[in-house]
Amino acid sequence: MNTERLEQLAGLEAALGYKFRDPSFLDCALTHRSFANENPDLMMKDNERLEFLGDAVLTLCITDMLVKKFPDCTEGDLSKIRSSIVNERPLAGLARELRIGDYLLLGRGEDISGGRSKSSLLANALEAIIAAVYCDTGFAGAFEFIGNRFHPLLETGAAGVFYQDYKTCLQETTQNRFRVIPRYSVIREFGPDHDKVFQVRVAVGEVVSTAGLGRNKKEAEQRAAKKALEAIEKLTPPNGDEDVQE
């Protein structure tokens, strides 16, 4: 690896927040098969084996983080959250934020066809970089690296699952049991613009009315829906004649 390439990779290391002891791991993680095939004289390995390893390391680390962060979640919920994080779309999005495409070594045809912006290539390269960190520093270092880089995705992934589950579950429950749909309304919002808190109420006909707080409307809605489900569970089971009109 020449000095120019080392200086180029230093820019990516700064974005990653990780300084490689052996930069050749990072260089390999950024080498696409098309480049290696077109430059056999360089005797460079492509990043496919690192990608395979990185996927396993990422899956294990994310699983460990989720189990510890959400001790009350079911296996099903944890699987949904993990699947929302360890897949091409969010990985490619994070790779774009880090501008990984600028550092890829691609064959001429792959480069001309827009390989630097292809989601599949970017996601694969990010997984390969994770493996490169693992090879360079071991599991503890890789775990810390993933925790730093993937923390926002952990939050949004969990939020997406919880919003969907509580609100969808409440709607299905109320339609089947009471033949009404939940109605959400913002009661109030308070706090400064950069740290606003919302209070949302959900009403199920005349049967249940609960409220929830959140940093955004979706979070407040899901907490209100969760409380409504808990309240409905405490009600006397319907006798078959129960009917609530909106």
Structural domains of the chain ordered from first start? 3-159 (1.10.1520.10), 182-233 (3.30.160.20)
| Residues 206-228 pLDDT 10s | 889 999 998 888 889 988 999 99
Token pair of 25, please? 């791991």
pLDDT at 236: 56
Q: Is the pLDDT of residue 188 over 50?
A: yes
Q: What is the pLDDT of residue 26?
A: 97
Instruction: Inform me whether the pLDDT recorded for 28 exceeds 90.
Output: yes
Neighbours of 199 (CB within 10 A): 18
Strands (E), the chain: 183-190, 197-204, 208-214
H or E segment to which residue 146 belongs? helix 139-178
For residue 80, what pLDDT is reported? 84
Q: State the alpha helices, DSSP H only, in 86-138.
A: 88-97, 108-112, 119-137
**Interior angle at CA 85, CA 57 and CA 200, nearest 5:** 145
Q: What percent of the chain has pLDDT over 90?
A: 63
Number of residues written out for the chain: 246
Number of separate helices (H) and strands (E) present in the chain:
10, 3
Annotated catalytic residues are: 55, 127
Spatial CB neighbours of 52, under 8 Å, sequence gap ≥ 6 = 131
pLDDT tens figures, 129-181: 999 999 999 999 999 999 998 888 887 776 666 666 788 889 988 998 899 99
